[in-house]
Amino acid sequence: MSDGFPNKPKILRGALVEYGLSLPPLFVEFQLNPIQLTRNRSLSYSAPSSQQATDRSLRALHQREFEDKDDLLAIQELQTVTIQEESIGFEIRLDATDKLNDGDTITEQFGIAPQLATLELMVYPKSESLIGTALSLLSPKGFSFTRGANPPLILFIWGRKRVLPVNINSLNITETQYSTDLNPVRATATVGLTVIEGKSTAYMYSKAMKEAMSVLNLANITDIADVIIPG
């Protein structure tokens, strides 16, 4: 149904999509894009364990290095850094109102239960899939639809520049409204992810996009005149 604005730009929707073929396939398009994403990455710094000193604290390392010379790059090389994976958190809102108004048959019968069920199956081991197990038994010997004992690998898709392989660390669902048959018709799902970093195609594509965005930031290089940099 038209909203009366034919020239209104189409807004892309985020999604969680299972990577690789298995049954049942798992795909959740966000009905309403999350209002915000939280992204975190923690780093911990320490002095190298090989340094010969009574005080092996990071502060002591810095002080010793600056006793004879002023070389910040030497500090960069000496201190040990542990970088944690990037974590992403957001809240998905699900509401059956629009599809109920449109007379969608599945929504009338089940509300938003199909979407919630798909989210939940994303954190279950694929080997526990009843459908996948049944099909594997009917398939040629050695062929499996269940793809091992771990939960499925998920791609977090957020626009054209971020397609990230992730692990789902947490999933908290709050159902807030039901139909007369007690099918959920309104709910929120709070999702916690960690990015699987490495030389996968999806991750390298997203990393290349990030680096390209950083290069575009050089267009603001004239703003450096407003920054005081100590000599």
Kindly state whether residue 221 falls inside one of the protein's structural domains.
no
Write down the pLDDT at residue 4.
Answer: 58
Same domain, 71 and 148: no
Domain range enclosing 64: 43-83
Q: How far is CA 38 from the centre of its chain?
A: 10
Please tell me whether residue 63 adopts helix, strand or coil conformation: helix
Whole-number CA gyration radius for the chain: 25
Same domain, 179 and 97: yes
pLDDT in tens, the chain (231 residues): 445 556 667 789 999 999 986 777 899 999 999 999 999 999 999 888 766 666 678 888 888 877 777 788 888 888 889 999 999 999 999 999 999 999 999 999 999 999 999 999 999 887 776 665 665 566 666 556 556 678 889 999 999 999 999 999 999 999 999 999 999 999 999 999 999 999 999 999 999 999 999 999 888 777 666 776 655
Q: CA of 201: how far to CAs of 54, 111, 155, in Å?
A: 46, 36, 11
Write down the pLDDT at residue 20.
Answer: 82
The model carries a pTM of 0.82
Kindly state whether residue 227 falls inside one of the protein's structural domains.
no
Same domain, 137 and 62: no
The beta strands (E) that lie in the chain are given as: 15-18, 27-29, 37-40, 43-46, 80-83, 87-95, 154-157, 163-178, 184-195
Position of tokens 């639809």?
A: 145
Same domain, 129 and 178: yes
Same domain, 61 and 92: no
Write down the pLDDT at residue 83.
Answer: 93
Same domain, 48 and 32: no
Same domain, 34 and 124: yes
The DSSP element (H or E) to which 203 belongs, if any, is: helix 201-216
Count of structural domains within the chain: 2
**Phi and psi for 203 in degrees, rounded to 5?**
-65, -45
Same domain, 93 and 23: yes
Write down the pLDDT at residue 218.
Answer: 83
Q: Is 32 left (phi over 0), alpha (psi -120 to 50) or beta?
A: beta
Write down the pLDDT at residue 103.
Answer: 93
CA dist., res. 203 & res. 212, Å (int):
14
Write down the pLDDT at residue 1.
Answer: 45
Strand partners, 27: 17
Kindly state whether residue 6 falls inside one of the protein's structural domains.
no
Residue by residue, DSSP assigns 87-152 as EEEEEEEEE-HHHHHTT-HHHHHHTTHHHHHHHHHTTS-GGG-HHHHHHHHHSSTT--SS-SSSPP
